[in-house]
Structure 1
Amino acid sequence: MKIFAVFFIALGILTAPAVRADEYTIDNGYISLHGSGGAIRDLRVDPSGKGAYGPIILREAYVGDRAEDSSNVPFEIADNTVTLKNVRIYCNPREVGLNEWDTPVRLEKGQTLGQLFAVDKNGMASVEVMVPTWQSAFSAMTLKLYSGGPAGKLIAEKRFENVPDNSWCVLTFPAQLKGTFYLEMSDPRGPVGWYSSIKGKVVGRMYENGNPMEFGARAFKAKIYDVFPAQVKISAVGSKLFAEVVPDDEKRRFNWSIVTPFVRDGYETHDPAQIAFSHFISDRGQYIATAQLKRRGGLDFGVQVNKWIYAAGNGGADMQFSVEGGSLSFAVDTDSLTFKLGKALAVSVKPHSDTVPDFYPAFFTSDPSFDKSLNSFFYERAFSWPVGGVNPDWFEWMALIHFWNYRPTSLEYWRQALLTHKIDEDGYVYTWGDNKGWPFPDNTKYDTRHFTTNPNFILACYRYYAWTKDREFLQSNIDRIRSAMNFMLIQLKGSDGIITLPDKDHGGTTSDVASNYWDDLPFGGISAYENAYFYASLGAMASVESALGNADKAKDYNDLREKCRKRYNELFWNDKAGRYIGCIDKNGTVHDYGFTYVNTEAATYGLPDKSQVERIYHWMEQEKTSSGKTDTYSRYRFAPRVNTIDCKGWWYLNGKAEIPSQQFDTHLENGGAVLYTSGYDVMARAKYLGADNAFKRFKDILARYNEPDNLCGGVPLRYGENTGWQVGTDQPFPESGLAPVSFLYAFLGIQATADGLMITPNLPTELKYAGVKNLRYRGLMLEITETRTSINIRCEDPAHKINVQKNISPGDGYLFADLEKG
């Protein structure tokens, strides 16, 4: 290993003293880096150890929450180790400022907007402002910070280009002593401004054009850090890089920050000169594609990690970072991506590989290029969300996406969640954690309960049992499951075949609030959406009772299910329009705005007959929407419009509450699109219209995913789609995984039932065979391969070796009832 100090010529003598306040370099064939000011910089690697380094893979690594750009950090070189002396560490930031606002104030050309504020502690080293750009992706402005006031000394300034709408723009600088400061925004390009509190809370004093205002304040967050000295030892041993920190006090809390090259704007994700890594995988199975971080400031959730996270490089090398457990988060700037590790830095350089963890499931077919796209789509949408973190409106979708595959702690989490999620004495399943209602509108004024929580809870419990055959779970939870069903039968009058929502706040009129996942629309009264899930839960309940040996109860639920189906079609089928309506409100008024998701979800659960489904798809594919065009599918490609008729006049609380009514085509609850609905679309097509019809649609979705934006990231997507609520394609939509996972149900025809594993191959003409690896069923990891006339199931578990071949007639299926016996 070569470790170099920068040499100086003094009085004609070449010297290399042991301690210099200059730059150091490490180069051992595997790893090349240099450093100064307490930070490691410009790390490049060669996993072969031959010194053929690729582009910079880590731009910077430093201890704490930010690096101080200082040349006053001396170092020593001894025994292949660089020791940095008296590095100033910035850690444990505390925020002061104003993190609320009521008005976006636009910055006009030639104008300045400002905020005067005071800080009563030493250590402020960053300040950030909340910036609206009115959905523009090309706006710019400059921030400047002064000490004392507008006429004080300039501390720092930065130009911000292509600012994302509603983002925090951060200005950093060396730690300051306590005092008064003035922050100013100037030099706008395009629509840009500063969120301000005009009518609400005031902190400091607001300025405009250098003049103080008598009211209001600008939204800002100043961060005050603990700043302390430490010694940092860095060494490269073969393909591994280590760094140890010795602070002035062993009780100090800190971690390492890693900064990689990253171009936030645009759609490029594979050029190693711009983007170091293509994706990250944690040892707990979470998968984050860097495409999801494009045009964003970060993610709404963290990455769950036990000991390591693997970063797949774009430049021929991968890196594995050691992490001290917990949750890892990403912060995106214009030209960098930052994430934090533990107190010690330990990095391994590895040759590039596209492999995923051994436990990951994988689809395979006779078309390898299709497989590659499908599995990439599957991992990015199904495995990006952390385990858990959802509420009952999502339970059925998470069950369909996750209960058949393995991720560390996943099934254990879901078992506990289903055993303990809060249920009222009357059987109502709470909507949002320990809150009975949805977070908005005001729970003290309105009944904000959702009424899909109960059927989704029952469906999830059934699917958990069907995939695990955990009888102890079922017996421990059966009273809660029955209570949830009884709430629908008694409180919502479901024993008549159809549930009816309460008149108060859930009557289905514009004076009411939402009753399900579609939280801006006042579904209520007698709702087709809630009743589709009620119908599905009746079938699940019958299976649960049958599994417990209660044949009479099972028959009663199946009989009620048939009654529900009959009543559903009598009440909700709009024969003139050829589709199901949305709901009938408490006054008897029908609300039908062409809700595509109501129809595809009802069809997937088996409510219509084939002739009805043919009419549904005639409407969706061949009739005009409120845009005046036949564009239900062509507008967004990855999913149908959520509705085809403008519903801005049918919005909760008359369209004047927290989220006011939106124009058609501008919002994912009025003419926009949500990716999860494509999962039901594909499953419904496969069920009624055949595999070839469904596969054509599935490939259309996959083709849109294969576009440069990978159908994710911030505003705008490839074709101008606004992920700020016009469309929902990745975060914060964990249900998006239903789109790729529909392959399991639509084409492989795999369903776990209380009686066994039912497999009904439904392969499209284009595929000679198809299958899935690492399907987890009753604790066994299975590989299933299908043709139109055969099913093969293999398991390599030494304790449960399985190799079962079943020949079938085309279109037939087979129930495997005793797989666990081999």
Structure 2
Amino acid sequence: MLSIILLTIFFHENFAGKCPSHEYSTPFNSSSSILTKQLNSFWSIYGNCEEKLDTTDNCFGDNPAWAEWDSLKFSWNDRNSYRDHGKTTLFRFPIIGINGTEGEMSDGFLWSWIDSERWPDARGSHGHVASYHFDQLPRFTAAIYQYYVWTGDRIFLQSILPRAELVVNFLISNMNGSAGIPINTINDGISENSRPSTYMDQVKSGWKDAWIALTFYTALNNIAALESVVGNETNREFYQSLADKLNSAFDDIFWNETTGRYAGWVDRNGNQHDSGYVYINLEAIARGLGNRSKADRIFDWLSRPADPILIGPHNGSTDVYHNIVAPRTTTENVRQSDWDGWSDPDEGRRPYGGLVESGGTMMWLTYYDVMARLRFNYTDEAFNILNNMLERVDNDSNCLTFNYEKGRIRDDFGEDFVQIGSNFPFPESGIAAISFLHGFVGVTAQIDGLKICPQLPSSLDFIQAQVNYIGVTLTIRVSKQMQPSSSYCITIPERQLSIDIFLGTCYFLTSL
């Protein structure tokens, strides 16, 4: 009996981390019990937020800039009616020209904040003048697409598609998106004149903004697909032609052959602004822009030494992944001329690495990091990134959450809450776990069915995810086959389905 007790203690101490989270929902499974627990625990904290620990976190962004991230989290499952909440919230977002909504901008402008045409940054160096943001515009359509393809809700689509068209047409007509890359004429991107234009609200991006452009690429492809659902072939062809134009224009405008990466934005004078924006580069590749050659150069850049961190427990580090939970947001300190200090503390801007937007990190980056690498079949590299994040969370006594109001501003590794974007105000962190569903299990919804393109890491024999598709629960398991070794077996017991596919191929579930 003593030996059993000692063995139990050994396994607990060596295979269980400090994170006290419970698995409130268990949509994920794998041949590794440790990975499975860590993944479901992470989802319970950062996904559906049922595990509160000592926080009162809301799992939704519930604001236009978070629309796509919310949809990535909740479109594929129906737990706690979160999916319905997400769909309903899209109708609450004010759009000029809809339901009597007015503003300083033209029809089709989706307000920057749910109750304000501008971002709530009218303080500090901004005085009483708040900023306009524009990244919420393409994210709105991307969110609609996710909710529709997972639910097949035609009433929802027919009700909201005119809003999506109006918003997309604002990007096309008012921001010159018809020429390829949208142009932000409010913020010209020139350091002395510009203001923040996106969720990264201390970075003075503007004019031709890569982050807005790459999300617009997704929105154009998505709205083209949605137009085909309602039988509007003319609109479909128009939007798809713009997406194809943007694909090539993106490389022409933003790629820098010398640095081997995409710049953050190009200002009105044609100058690229580049502080090594990791989030832009990973997301561009994950969304289907660029090619293998460019992706390899980006991955190589991320593997090389970056500028040394100047603050905190990682002071002096040149490792892009020193935070472990995700890569740095930038590999260089954002230039002071490109930095907007409206929310800097009284003592001034923190040194490089001291804030999430310049050398710090945010968990949601891991989703795009994993998906970018899986696009070119770097499966084990991608899995190590996800696994390292989960291990980091598991080895913190508060699961890497912070609670400023209770004075809990540092994690067990000495990192503080403005260096690591994890829980509130970062509800989008939960999308990191969705890389397991979208990437490794390989399940994505399209207008004509489920597409399953699995990639199993070498260390796992099977992986599994449970989804709610068109109102039906499906348990999708992908297992390695012994013979032939180059194949997978996909099983969906609810459909009495078992089918073998070769590695690198996909299975389409076109009907239920």
Does TM-score exceed 0.5, indicating one fold? yes
Note if contact 2:475-2:492 (Cα within 8 Å) is conserved in structure 1.
yes
From the superposition, tell whether residues 382 and 355 of structure 1 become closer, same or farther in structure 2 (CA, over 3 Å).
Answer: closer
CA distance in 2, matches of 1:768, 1:548: 41
SS at match of 2:496: strand
Match for residue 32 of structure 2 among 345, 367, 386: 367
CA distance in 2, matches of 1:594, 1:387: 30
Match for residue 743 of structure 1 among 432, 436, 439: 436
Aligned to 1:78: none
CA distance in 2, matches of 1:514, 1:542: 29
Q: Does 1:540 align with 2:218?
A: no
Q: CA deviation at 1:629?
A: 4.8
1:585 aligned partner, one-letter code: D
Deviations 1:588-625 (Å, cap 9, x if unpaired)?
22210001000011111011101111100111111332
From the superposition, tell whether residues 519 and 355 of structure 1 become closer, same or farther in structure 2 (CA, over 3 Å).
Answer: closer
CA distance in 1, matches of 2:366, 2:298: 15
Q: Which structure features the higher share of helix residues?
A: 2
Q: CA deviation at 1:510?
A: 4.1
CA distance in 2, matches of 1:427, 1:684: 31
Aligned to 1:615: 297
Aligned to 1:434: 115
SS at match of 2:337: coil
Note if contact 1:447-1:505 (Cα within 8 Å) is conserved in structure 2.
no
2:477 aligned partner, one-letter code: T
Aligned to 1:778: 470
TM-score (norm 2): 0.85
Q: Does 1:704 align with 2:385?
A: no
Matches within 5 A, 1:5-24: none
Note if contact 1:782-1:793 (Cα within 8 Å) is conserved in structure 2.
yes
Deviations 1:535-584 (Å, cap 9, x if unpaired)?
11111111111111123322222221111010100010011111110011
Aligned to 1:793: 492
CA distance in 2, matches of 1:677, 1:455: 19
2:140 aligned partner, one-letter code: F
Aligned to 2:90: 418
Q: Does 1:679 align with 2:367?
A: yes
Q: Does 1:478 align with 2:161?
A: yes
Aligned to 2:318: 630
What percentage of aligned pairs have identical amino acids?
32
CA distance in 1, matches of 2:356, 2:130: 24
RMSD (Å) for aligned C-alpha atoms = 2.1
Q: CA deviation at 1:657?
A: 6.1
Deviations 1:230-286 (Å, cap 9, x if unpaired)?
xxxxxxxxxxxxxxxxxxxxxxxxxxxxxxxxxxxxxx978xxxxxxx5xxxxxxxx
2:468 aligned partner, one-letter code: R
CA distance in 1, matches of 2:81, 2:192: 43
Q: CA deviation at 1:743?
A: 0.8
Matches within 5 A, 1:635-674: 636-653=323-340, 655=341, 661-674=349-362
Q: Does 1:555 align with 2:237?
A: yes
1:374 aligned partner, one-letter code: L
SS at match of 1:650: helix
Note if contact 1:467-1:778 (Cα within 8 Å) is conserved in structure 2.
yes
Matches within 5 A, 1:488-499: 488-499=171-182
CA distance in 1, matches of 2:59, 2:306: 40
Contiguous gaps of at least 5 residues in structure 1:
1-267, 271-277, 279-288, 290-353, 796-801
1:495 aligned partner, one-letter code: S
From the superposition, tell whether residues 508 and 726 of structure 1 become closer, same or farther in structure 2 (CA, over 3 Å).
Answer: farther
SS at match of 2:502: coil
Higher relative contact order (CA 8 A, sep 6+): 2
Match for residue 454 of structure 2 among 755, 758, 761: 761
Q: CA deviation at 1:387?
A: 5.5
From the superposition, tell whether residues 508 and 604 of structure 1 become closer, same or farther in structure 2 (CA, over 3 Å).
Answer: farther
From the superposition, tell whether residues 475 and 412 of structure 1 become closer, same or farther in structure 2 (CA, over 3 Å).
Answer: same
Note if contact 2:121-2:130 (Cα within 8 Å) is conserved in structure 1.
no
Matches within 5 A, 1:436-515: 436-441=117-122, 446=129, 448-502=131-185, 504-515=186-197
Deviations 1:78-123 (Å, cap 9, x if unpaired)?
xxxxxxxxxxxxxxxxxxxxxxxxxxxxxxxxxxxxxxxxxxxxxx
Note if contact 2:367-2:433 (Cα within 8 Å) is conserved in structure 1.
yes
SS at match of 1:593: coil
From the superposition, tell whether residues 811 and 409 of structure 1 become closer, same or farther in structure 2 (CA, over 3 Å).
Answer: same
Deviations 1:323-376 (Å, cap 9, x if unpaired)?
xxxxxxxxxxxxxxxxxxxxxxxxxxxxxxx663xxx34211111121111111
Question: How many corresponding residue pairs?
Answer: 457
Match for residue 411 of structure 2 among 691, 703, 717: 717
CA distance in 1, matches of 2:294, 2:476: 33
SS at match of 1:808: strand
From the superposition, tell whether residues 629 and 574 of structure 1 become closer, same or farther in structure 2 (CA, over 3 Å).
Answer: farther
CA distance in 1, matches of 2:376, 2:23: 36
Q: Does 1:816 align with 2:509?
A: yes
From the superposition, tell whether residues 745 and 727 of structure 1 become closer, same or farther in structure 2 (CA, over 3 Å).
Answer: same
Q: Which structure features the higher share of strand residues?
A: 1
Q: CA deviation at 1:663?
A: 1.9
Q: Does 1:376 align with 2:41?
A: yes
Note if contact 2:324-2:392 (Cα within 8 Å) is conserved in structure 1.
yes
CA distance in 2, matches of 1:607, 1:533: 10
Note if contact 2:61-2:70 (Cα within 8 Å) is conserved in structure 1.
no
Q: CA deviation at 1:421?
A: 1.7
Matches within 5 A, 1:26-105: none
SS at match of 2:38: helix
From the superposition, tell whether residues 587 and 414 of structure 1 become closer, same or farther in structure 2 (CA, over 3 Å).
Answer: same
1:363 aligned partner, one-letter code: F
1:784 aligned partner, one-letter code: I
Matches within 5 A, 1:390-409: 390-409=62-81
SS at match of 2:392: helix
Q: Which has the larger radius of gyration?
A: 1
